[in-house]
Amino acid sequence: MGLSLRLRRRGGSKKELIPVMGFSEEDETTIPSQFQCPISYDLMKDPVIIASGITYDRENIEKWFESGNKTCPVTNTVLTTSEQIPNHAIRRMIQGWCVSNKGSSLERIPTPRVPVTSHQVVEICGKLLSATQRGDHVGCVEMVKKMKRLVKESERNRKCLKENGAGLVLCVCFDAFSETAYATRLLEDVLFLLTWMFPIGSEGQGTLTSTTSFSRLVGFVRSGDQNAAFLVKELLSLDEANVQALLEVDGVEEAFVRLIRETVCESSLTSIHHMITRKPEIVSKFIELDLVNLVVEMLVDSENSVCEKALMVLEAICETSEGREEVRGNELVMPILVKRILKISEFAKKKLVSVMWKICKTGQGAEVEEALRLGAFKKLVVMLQVGCGEGTKEKVTELLKMMNKQMKTKGFVEHSDSSIEFKHLKKPF
Q: What is the pLDDT of residues 257-310, one digit of tens each?
A: 999 998 888 999 999 999 999 999 999 999 999 999 999 999 988 888 999 999
217-244 per-position pLDDT tens digit = 999 999 999 999 999 999 998 888 889 8
Rg (CA), the chain: 29
* pLDDT at 35 > cutoff 60: yes
Q: What share of the chain is helix, strand, coil (3-state, %, to 5)?
A: 60, 5, 35
pTM of the entire predicted model: 0.74
Q: Where are the alpha helices (DSSP H) in 225-365?
A: 226-238, 240-247, 252-262, 266-278, 283-288, 291-298, 304-317, 321-328, 333-340, 346-361
56-76 per-position pLDDT tens digit = 999 899 889 988 999 999 999
What mean pLDDT is predicted for residues 17-36? 62
Residue 107: what pLDDT?
67
3-state secondary structure of 87: coil
What mean pLDDT is predicted for residues 357-381? 90
* pLDDT at 183 > cutoff 90: yes
* pLDDT at 406 > cutoff 70: yes
Residue 105: what pLDDT?
59
Regarding predicted confidence, which is higher, 135 or 419?
A: 135
* pLDDT at 141 > cutoff 70: yes
* pLDDT at 408 > cutoff 90: no
- The dotted CATH code for 33-101 is 3.30.40.10
Per-residue pLDDT band for 14 (boundaries 50, 70, 90) equals: very low
Residue 98: what pLDDT?
86
Residue 31: what pLDDT?
86
Cβ partners under 8 Å of residue 21, min gap 6: 1, 2, 3, 4, 105
Cβ partners under 8 Å of residue 3, min gap 6: 18, 20, 21, 105, 106, 107
77-131 per-position pLDDT tens digit = 999 988 888 899 999 899 888 888 776 556 667 777 778 888 999 999 999 999 9
Q: Report the chain's mean pLDDT, rounded to a whole number.
A: 85
d(CA 108, CA 68): 33
